[in-house]
Structures are given as C-alpha cells and as structure tokens.
Amino acid sequence: MKTVVPDASVILKWVLPDPEGGWDMANALALRDAVMQGRIIAKVPSLWLYETGNMLTRRFGKHARAALEALMAFGLDESGTSERWLDQVLQLTQHYQVTFYDAAYHALALTEKGVFVTADETYLRKAGKAGAVMALREWSGPE
C-alpha cells in the first residue's frame, strides 16, 4: 500500500472552505478520501498538529476547535523521530535551505519510501530534486 506524507498545507484543506477554487481542493479531498477509505497510508511527523493548530487558531479562532477535532479524528499515523529521519531532515535543510518544519515531512517520506505531498510551491522549487515529493496539484490518486 502506498504511503503518503501530506503536509499542513494539504491537511488544512481537508477542513477549510475553498474561497476561490484555487487551492487544489479536489485533489486535497481525493487524498483525504483515499486515506479514510484505507487505500493509502498517511503518515505525518508529530509536529503536524502544532502547525495546523497554529494556523487554525490564528485565522479561524471560533472554528479552530471543531476543525482540530475533525483533523484529529482522521487518526493520522504520527511517526516518531529516529536517527535516520533526523539525518535526512538535516541534510534537506542544509542542502536546499528549507525550514526544519517542511523538511520534517519530506524526510519522513524519504525514510518511509513514500511520497511527500505539498501545496507549497516554494518548497517544491527549492527541494524537489531530492525526490519523493509531489505537488498537490499533481495528485491523481493512490495508484
């Protein structure tokens, strides 16, 4: 079964409204549905809740609790840290000059032999050459 590592930019689309249709919403929801139906395994670093929680509480204060409860109900597989993961995170941050937060998701995909799915085009331009990463706009399903 395919392992996918969605980052906060993707996970947030599972609970936020699509104000302009420019968020690759259909792809985000298709990925969420594949997770919910057990067609793919979604793994995330433990920081995912803090990252999504930060955005939700800052921008959607009144609705943050309901959105966070919905996200936690998905039961995403939180991966712990390891030496191999840390080495990969540090390599990505140093070689591609990206944040530790973003590299944490990408490193997880690399160590789990999965694919990191992100809506962060800046990250893709910087670190896409490292492999095991794809743009949300390119997501077409688990096959």
Q: Which tens digit of pLDDT belongs to each residue from 17-37?
A: 765 556 588 899 999 999 999
User: Which stretches within 1-143 are classed as H helix?
Assistant: 8-11, 25-36, 48-59, 64-73, 83-96, 100-111, 121-127
On whether residue 15 sits in a domain, the answer given is yes
Residue 84 burial (CB < 10 Å; 0-12/13-18/19+)? exposed
| No. of helices (H) and no. of strands (E), the chain | 7, 5
On whether residue 143 sits in a domain, the answer given is no
Strands 40-45 and 2-6: parallel
What is the pLDDT averaged over residues 31-53?
Answer: 95
Measured in whole angstroms, the distance separating CA 30 from the mean position of its chain's CA atoms is: 14
On whether residue 101 sits in a domain, the answer given is yes
β-sheet with 115-118: strand ranges across: 77-79, 40-45, 2-6, 115-118, 133-135
On whether residue 116 sits in a domain, the answer given is yes
On whether residue 63 sits in a domain, the answer given is yes
What the block records as the tokens of 125 is 């331009």
On whether residue 6 sits in a domain, the answer given is yes
* Among 134, 125, 137, 97, residue whose Cα is nearest residue 2: 134
pLDDT, tens digit, for every residue of 70-122?
999 988 999 999 999 999 999 999 999 999 999 999 999 999 999 999 999 99
pLDDT at 30: 92
pLDDT at 141: 73
Domain holding 67, by residue range, is 2-138
What is the pLDDT averaged over residues 44-65?
Answer: 94
- Our count of domains for the chain comes to 1
What the block records as the tokens of 58 is 């800052």
Residue 119 burial (CB < 10 Å; 0-12/13-18/19+)? buried
HSE, side-chain direction, 13 A CA sphere, residue 103: 19
Q: How confident is the model at residue 1 (pLDDT cuts 50, 70, 90)?
A: confident
What is the pLDDT averaged over residues 38-50?
Answer: 95
> What's the CATH number where 80 sits?
3.40.50.1010
